[in-house]
Amino acid sequence: MPTGDELRTAMRRFPSGIAVVTTEVEDQEFGVTVASLVSLSLEPPLLGVSIGIDTAMHELLREARGFCVSLLADDQAGVAQHFARAGVPPLVRWLGISTEAGDYGRRISGATTWLECRTLEAHPVGDHTFFVAAVEETELGREAGGLSYVRGGYHAT
């Protein structure tokens, strides 16, 4: 059986779209970069996202009613890197980041799309939790290519 590091190395060869997931619980706001976003169903519109149990976002997301997904544009690698940093106090996470209010969390300005999602289920899976959510609203942002992650770096698609 491969180790976690071996699986990570293998999966880095598979391009993944990049998004920032944000949420708010009792005046605590947080965001995290994810590459584990998946469309689950069109009828009803459902999506899923996997969040590591050791991330600061994990417990907030478990308590939240939902979350906002900002699908990042091809020129937003800096935003992706900003929200991928571990150990940064939540207040500092928002410094220098342009956002707009969303129903379940902040929307990252300049994204290609925003998805407002109401959490339906949370499934423990290894060292992550897989959150299933109903997509309650979609809004298209600017016309731009998407941002992907492959071979350890961000790339325009």
CA dihedral 88, 131, 104, 147 (to 10 degrees): 60
Domain ranges, residue 140 = 4-156
Tell me the CATH number at 142. 2.30.110.10
Instruction: Please give the chain's pLDDT, 157 residues, in tens.
Output: 889 999 989 999 999 999 999 999 888 889 999 999 999 999 999 999 999 999 888 999 999 999 999 999 999 999 999 999 876 666 677 889 999 999 999 999 999 999 999 999 999 999 999 999 999 999 999 999 999 999 989 999 8
Task: Report the pLDDT value the prediction gives residue 85, as an integer from 0 to 100.
Answer: 83
Six-digit token string for 139: 């809004």
Residue 42 pairs in a beta bridge with: 45
Structural domain count of the chain: 1
Angle at CA of residue 156, ends 154 and 157, nearest 5°: 120
**pTM of the prediction?**
0.93
